[in-house]
């Protein structure tokens, strides 16, 4: 990341009034949240995550799928927001019309100070009924995480098994979340994309919506991505390092104070 690129991105953020911050797995990985395919320990090493994260897998063996997701949720609970999450919260605090859109299913944005991110892929902490979609409370975290199958709770409304509140392979994104993300990208005056590979569709379309409508796109990522060509600035580096620097570049007087 060059000083010139950082300064340019800082100027874009400083004059923005309604930015969108779009985050992906790279941001959570910096908080030691295992990636989807890396979250395999003990018994879970025997299973392909892609084969557990489907409606068919849950229908065939609800206890197996619920146990795996509960193990993931326990792991997320042990993670802490990193400086990148805090920087996103600082942007939203400075610019209240900021919309945070995330592909992550953890709660690190909320714990980092953003109370209302738009969740494109759902949440590990918002289970719902597999039949009637009635919301269900997330289980408590007493004891050790499950090391194997665990029967899911029953829905309080219809007694069907409760499922994880995430988007599985073969499922559409939640319509309300996708509509909110597209609307925010359509009216934003800056889109900051952080830690996403830009390969998972339709979520990867969100930065392109902003770019097509004339908003500058600033990318924070240690690696090249398909978004490089449409970005006004590419900041190479980790979110936890780059985002605090970007906030300081945008509002140096705040940093000095």
pLDDT digits (tens, 9 = 90+) for 215-257: 999 999 999 999 999 999 999 999 999 999 999 999 998 764 4
pLDDT digits (tens, 9 = 90+) for 139-157: 877 667 777 899 999 999 9
Question: What confidence score (pLDDT) does residue 41 get?
Answer: 57
Among 85, 109, 121, 134, which one carries the catalytic annotation?
121
Q: How far apart are CA 162 and CA 72, in angstroms?
A: 16
To the nearest 10°, report the CA torsion of 147, 34, 64, 50.
-150
Annotated binding residues, written as ranges, equal 69, 72, 103-106, 129, 132, 155, 158, 195-197, 221-223, 239
Residue 188 Cα to chain centre, angstroms: 19
Structure-token match 């600082």, residue found: 90
Question: What confidence score (pLDDT) does residue 40 get?
Answer: 57
Annotated binding residues for substrate, written as ranges, equal 69, 72
Q: What is the DSSP letter of 99?
A: E
Question: What confidence score (pLDDT) does residue 98 get?
Answer: 98
In angstroms, the first-to-last Cα distance of the chain is 25
Below-70 pLDDT ranges, the chain: 34-44, 142-143, 255-257
Ordered alpha helix ranges (H), the chain: 3-15, 25-29, 49-52, 55-60, 62-78, 83-94, 108-112, 175-187, 205-212, 239-250, 252-256
Question: What confidence score (pLDDT) does residue 37 get?
Answer: 57
pTM of the model: 0.92
Beta bridge partners of 122: 166
Q: Is 121 one of the catalytic residues?
A: yes
Q: How far apart are CA 128 and CA 146, in angstroms?
A: 19
| Crossing angle for the helix pair 3-15 and 239-250, to the nearest 10 degrees | 60
Structural domains of the chain, ranges and CATH numbers in brackets: 1-31+81-121+173-257 (3.40.50.1220), 34-78+122-166 (3.30.1600.10)
Q: How far apart are CA 27 and CA 65, in angstroms?
A: 25
To the nearest 10°, report the CA torsion of 169, 171, 174, 175.
140
């Amino acid at each position: 990341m060059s000083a010139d690129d950082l300064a340019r991105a800082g100027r874009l953020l400083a004059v923005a009034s309604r930015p969108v911050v779009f985050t992906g797995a790279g941001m959570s990985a910096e908080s030691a949240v295992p990636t989807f395919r890396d979250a395999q320990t003990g018994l879970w090493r025997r299973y392909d995550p892609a084969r557990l994260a489907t409606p068919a897998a849950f229908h065939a063996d609800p206890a197996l799928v619920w146990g795996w997701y509960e193990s993931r949720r326990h792991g997320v609970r042990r993670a802490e927001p990193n400086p990148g999450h805090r920087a996103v919260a600082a942007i939203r605090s400075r610019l209240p019309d900021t919309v945070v859109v995330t592909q992550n299913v953890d709660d690190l944005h909320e714990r980092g100070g953003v109370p209302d991110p738009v969740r494109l892929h759902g949440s590990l902490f918002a289970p719902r009924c597999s039949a009637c979609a009635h919301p269900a409370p997330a289980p408590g975290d007493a004891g050790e995480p499950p090391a194997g199958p665990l029967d899911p709770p029953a829905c309080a409304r219809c007694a069907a098994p409760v499922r994880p509140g995430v988007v599985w392979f073969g499922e559409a994104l939640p319509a309300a979340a996708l509509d909110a993300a597209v609307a925010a990208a359509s009216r934003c005056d800056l889109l900051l994309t952080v830690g996403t590979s830009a390969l998972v569709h339709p979520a990867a379309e969100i930065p392109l919506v902003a770019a097509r409508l004339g908003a500058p796109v600033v990318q924070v990522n240690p690696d090249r991505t398909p978004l490089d060509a449409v970005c006004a600035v590419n900041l190479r580096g980790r979110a936890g390092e780059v985002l605090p620097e970007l906030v300081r570049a945008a509002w140096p007087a705040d940093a000095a104070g």
